[in-house]
Amino acid sequence: MLTVSKYVFLDLLKNRSILVYSIVLAVLSFTLLGLSGGSAKGLLSLLNITLLFVPVITTLFATIYFFNSLEFIELLLSQPVKRTGILLSEYAGMALSLAAAFILGVGLPLLIMVPVAASFMLVLTGVLLTFIFTSVALLIFVLSKDKTRGIGAAIIVSLFFTLLFDGLMMAFIFTFSDYPIDRALVGIMSFNPVDLARVLMLLQLDVAVLMGYSGALFKEFLGSATGSIYSVACMICWAVAPLLLAIRVFRKKDL
C-alpha cells in the first residue's frame, strides 16, 4: 500500500497541472495579501479564492486522474493485493499531492506575509477541502461507468457545493423567513463542506462585519470554540464518509 501511494504521489508531483495549480495559488496569494497589507480583508479574499478553486479543481483533476489510472488499477488487481489497499493508496497519493500543492501555493505566502493563527486555520481549511473533494472524486470514479459521465458528474457536484447550495439555502431563508429557522439552518449548513470551511475561517477572524449570516448563526448558537470544533468534526466526516462508501462499492464492482 505504501509503495503504491508513494508511486502515485511522486507521479503527481511531476505532473505539470499540479505545478501550475501551486504557482497560480502562490501568485494570487502574494497579490491579494500584498494589496491588502496582510489584513483580515486579505485573508477573507484568499478564503474566497480557496473556497472556489480547491473544490472545483480538486474534484475535476482527481476524477480525470482516477479514470486515466484505470489500466494501472486493473494491473494491480491482477496481483495478490486487496482492493481496499489499492483504492486507499490511490486516494492517499492524490490527496497528499494536491494538499502539498495547496500548502506551497497558499501556506508559504501566508507564513511569509501573515504569520498568525488565522493563517494556519486557512491552510487547514484548504487541506481539509482537498481531502474531502478527493474523496468525493473517488466516489464518482467508482460509481461511474465511463469517463465522460464521471467528468460531468464531477463538474455538477463541485458547482453544486460552491455555488448552487448557497442559492438554494437563500431561497429557503426567504421562503420561511417568518418562522424560527435559525437552528435548522445550522444543521443545513453541515451538509455543505464549503460552508463549513467558510464558517470555520470566519470564526477565527472574529470580525463582526465580515461574519455574514452563516458565521453569525454559528457564533450565536455554538460559540467560537465549539463552532470551530463542530465545523472541523463535520469536515472530517465529509472526508471519511464518501471514502468508505467508495471502498464498499469498489469491493463489489466488476472491472
- Alpha-carbon 200 to chain mean position: 13
Contact 245, 139 (CB under 8 A): yes
C-alpha–C-alpha distance, residues 43 and 119, integer Å: 7
C-alpha–C-alpha distance, residues 234 and 89, integer Å: 24
Output the tens digit of pLDDT for each of the chain's 255 residues: 677 777 788 888 788 889 999 999 999 988 888 876 656 777 888 888 899 899 999 999 999 999 998 888 888 888 877 888 889 999 999 999 999 999 999 999 888 888 778 888 899 999 999 999 999 999 999 998 788 999 999 999 999 999 898 888 888 878 887 777 777 777 788 889 998 888 888 777 755 445 555 556 666 655 567 777 888 899 999 999 999 999 999 888 766
C-alpha–C-alpha distance, residues 224 and 25, integer Å: 28
Q: Please identify which residue in the block is written with the cell numbers 448557497.
A: 166
How many H-runs (helices) and E-runs (strands) does the chain carry?
13, 0
Angle between helices 193-205 and 182-189 (to 10 degrees): 110
C-alpha–C-alpha distance, residues 23 and 16, integer Å: 10
- Alpha-carbon 99 to chain mean position: 10
This prediction has a pTM of 0.91
Angle between helices 117-143 and 40-68 (to 10 degrees): 20
Contact 173, 217 (CB under 8 A): no
